Amino acid sequence: MNTDPLISRIADKRDELVALTQALIRIPTINPPGDAYEACAHLLGERLARRGFTVEYVRARGAPGDNDQHPRTNVVARLAGTGGGDCVHFNSHIDVVEPGSGWTTDPFGAEVKQGRVYGRGSCDMKGGLAASVIACEALLESFGRLPGALEISGTVDEESGGYAGVGYLAERGYFSPPRVQHVIIPEPLGVDRICLGHRGVWWAEVETLGRMAHGSMPFLGDSAISHMGAFIHRLEHDLLPRLAQRHTAEPVEPPGARVSTLNINSLHGGQREQSYRSDDAGRPAGDLPAPMVPHSCRAVLDRRYIAEENFSDVKQEVTALLDELTRTRPGFAYQLRDIMSFVPTATPKDAPVVVATARAIARVLGREAAYIASPGTYDQKHIVRTGRLQDCIAYGPGILALAHQPDEYVEIQALLDSAGVMALAALELTQAP
Ligand SMILES: [Zn+2]
């Protein structure tokens, strides 16, 4: 099959691809709280409906975060095939993180300069979403309907775990055979890199318990914060050095993440946080704290583990530290609550979607694909675990390090190159055997 006309058709769509990326960026789908999801889902859905796709809007009623003010509205568009081929699904999240400070352009202005489109979400991942749409439209214009179906979804809340987005859809069969066989997630991993999966994650809250007393007589109480300090000391001097010794054979990027890691995401102890200060005369002002020995201190642990470890050991080594403190430190008591966990995933290099994408990268860019894995999880976790679909990768334009940064941008050439790769991969995967 001659694919030259397909590639040149995508090159001709440069302005259209930039315009779609801009239109998506200009809808400020900030999460949290989950703004403007409806508007973004409809922009995408109405465009694809005009191309003949069957479009569904799926609101994740009852899912975390869904309410009438911030409806969790996903869009799923499907163009049936002529028969005999597999379905390829392009899944992008439509939410972005808050812009934060430090921008030199309007975060939702989608300014184009120096061959780049700037804006919050340009790289992560509205550029990838736009590239997948242009890829499918170019395929239709070049070949008409393919033997297999094409699907494009815009889903919510990836930045906050994806439970109302891909998680919700996966529970309802949207990411399972026989409906779909191959999934490409255009996250910003770079135009010549195929992301096979991610490390495992376990979030848990540790609470240390104490006994309240008056802050002027701390010897009458027992400080939960001091107990937490003892636990953190053990983490830093015992567990973290051990984790740093555990290297994975998976090609995790950046290489610093090719070990096991643990971060303390937050720490809260004692009274609720209050705002107080001294006024100009040096007198205390604002909500003043009361003198209390804290009876509770809570820390959220963010443990990322490698494919060579297993989840029960990961959890066991933290509880072993806590249990040892219970035995050896007078008054030490704790509670441990799981928040969430996902096991590591890795799609095999010889899986169909990997092989087709690697071939397309070689064709479009003239160089070999690189294989990587992600330090953090993304929506692939729901597709593999809940959808039970293993043939899934992340592949898309943009530089990962720019995600969530001020002055985030995506290069227009990367948009075009990745659209070409996605189109060629989908063309191959949708053919009848
Ligand atoms: Zn993303």
| 285: confidence class by pLDDT, cuts 50, 70, 90 | confident
Place of tokens 């035995």: 327
Q: Tell how far the Cα of 261 is from the centroid of ligand 1, in angstroms.
A: 21
Average pLDDT over residues 67-75: 97
pLDDT in tens, 206-246: 999 999 999 999 999 999 999 999 999 999 999 999 999 99
Question: CB–CB of 93/165 below 8 Å?
Answer: yes
Structure tokens at 331: 């008054």
Q: Tell how far the Cα of 141 is from the centroid of ligand 1, in angstroms.
A: 29
Q: Tell how far the Cα of 40 is from the centroid of ligand 1, in angstroms.
A: 16
Q: Tell how far the Cα of 50 is from the centroid of ligand 1, in angstroms.
A: 27
Report the run of H or E that residue 54 belongs to, with start and end: strand 54-59
**How many residues does this entry show for the chain?**
433
pLDDT in tens, 3-60: 999 999 999 999 999 999 999 999 999 999 999 999 999 999 999 999 999 999 999 9
| 275: confidence class by pLDDT, cuts 50, 70, 90 | confident
Burial zone of 49 (CB within 10 Å; 0-12 exposed, 13-18 middle, 19+ buried): middle
Structure tokens at 2: 């001659």
For the whole model, what pTM was predicted?
Answer: 0.90
Place of tokens 């051990």: 242
Average pLDDT over residues 322-338: 98
User: Given a cut of 90, is residue 278 above it in pLDDT?
Assistant: no
Q: CA 346 to CA 249: how far, in whole Å?
A: 12
Cis before 397 (ω within 30): no
Q: Tell how far the Cα of 330 is from the centroid of ligand 1, in angstroms.
A: 46
User: Given a cut of 90, is residue 272 above it in pLDDT?
Assistant: no
Q: Kindly report the number of other CB atoms within 10 A of residue 109's CB atom.
A: 14
Select from 167, 139, 162 the least CA-distant residue to 431. 139
Q: Tell how far the Cα of 419 is from the centroid of ligand 1, in angstroms.
A: 17
Mean residue pLDDT of the chain comes to 96
Give the residue ranges of DSSP H helices in 62-215: 127-143, 166-171
Question: CB–CB of 175/89 below 8 Å?
Answer: yes
Question: Phi first, then psi: what are they for 370, rounded to 5°?
Answer: -100, 150
Ion ligand 1 — residues with CB under 5 Å? 124-125, 187
Check residue 70 and give its pLDDT: 97
Q: CA 122 to CA 77: how far, in whole Å?
A: 22
Question: CB–CB of 251/372 below 8 Å?
Answer: yes
Check residue 246 and give its pLDDT: 97
Check residue 59 and give its pLDDT: 98
Q: CA 244 to CA 319: how far, in whole Å?
A: 19
Question: Phi first, then psi: what are they for 162, rounded to 5°?
Answer: 75, 15
Q: Tell how far the Cα of 47 is from the centroid of ligand 1, in angstroms.
A: 22
Question: CB–CB of 388/97 below 8 Å?
Answer: no
Q: Tell how far the Cα of 378 is from the centroid of ligand 1, in angstroms.
A: 7
Question: CB–CB of 209/333 below 8 Å?
Answer: yes
Check residue 307 and give its pLDDT: 94
| 158: confidence class by pLDDT, cuts 50, 70, 90 | very high
| 289: confidence class by pLDDT, cuts 50, 70, 90 | confident
Place of tokens 């998506």: 24
Select from 262, 354, 273 the least CA-distant residue to 309. 262
User: Strand, helix or coil at 193?
Assistant: strand
Check residue 279 and give its pLDDT: 86
Check residue 352 and give its pLDDT: 98
Query: What positions carry a catalytic annotation?
Result: 95, 158
User: Given a cut of 90, is residue 284 above it in pLDDT?
Assistant: no
Q: Kindly report the number of other CB atoms within 10 A of residue 174's CB atom.
A: 24
Q: CA 374 to CA 28: how far, in whole Å?
A: 26
Q: What type of residue sits at position 111? A: E
Give me the residues paired with residue 346 across strands.
197
Q: Tell how far the Cα of 265 is from the centroid of ligand 1, in angstroms.
A: 20
User: Given a cut of 90, is residue 425 above it in pLDDT?
Assistant: yes
Question: CB–CB of 181/88 below 8 Å?
Answer: yes
pLDDT over 70, % of the chain = 100
Paired sense of beta strands 112-113 and 116-118, if any:
antiparallel
Q: Tell how far the Cα of 144 is from the centroid of ligand 1, in angstroms.
A: 31
Check residue 41 and give its pLDDT: 98
Give me the residues paired with residue 177 across strands.
none
